[in-house]
Chains A and B, each alone.
Chain A
Amino acid sequence: AQRVTQPEKLLSVFKGAPVELKCNYSYSGSPELFWYVQYSRQRLQLLLRHISRESIKGFTADLNKGETSFHLKKPFAQEEDSAMYYCAPFSSNTGKLIFGQGTTLQVKP
């Protein structure tokens, strides 16, 4: 069965601290992995995709196929990073994007 696990519902850190939001997936085939973010009172939006291998707003994510993980990292958290983050694998076979339960990141001043 296709499954996405984000083990932490809430991650609270102080400004300037490193951040790692965990994501593990169980998926048939080779899914494409995404992170989506939802800031307060804003619509859900794409943060980054593993294929592009780029850094967005200081965030990076490395796909580890052996561990089936796609953790999101940022070395120095900022208050404006406070939001809900969703890990989402996409299967080109089915055309479906499946979301994890999400992790709320709270960055304290």
Chain B
Amino acid sequence: GAVVSQHPSWVICKSGTSVKIECRSLDFQATTMFWYRQFPKQSLMLMATSNEGSKATYEQGVEKDKFLINHASLTLSTLTVTSAHPEDSSFYICSARDRYLSGANVLTFGAGSRLTVL
């Protein structure tokens, strides 16, 4: 079945540094990927929609200059948290949609990346 790989699974960084998280679709092509943020004991909040070859679409309240998204190929989207601060600590999850499936197909989710900013 469809698999989405996220890397790294865990990352700890110092305040002020930037962290890149990768989301890869391993056995399918994804023109659209989604990035979510999940706080402890809370639901997933959609941060942005990543579109291959074009700019990402950010949800209201999400700073696009802080959360840089790049979708340079049909199998890879990256989320870069720039100048990270402790309040950016969270669980980040991506999902991908197979380009050859239309309608209300099922999204495939990555295993998530836990970011801790010291």
Q: Do A and B come from one complex?
A: no
Residues of B in contact with A (beta carbons under 8 Å apart) = none
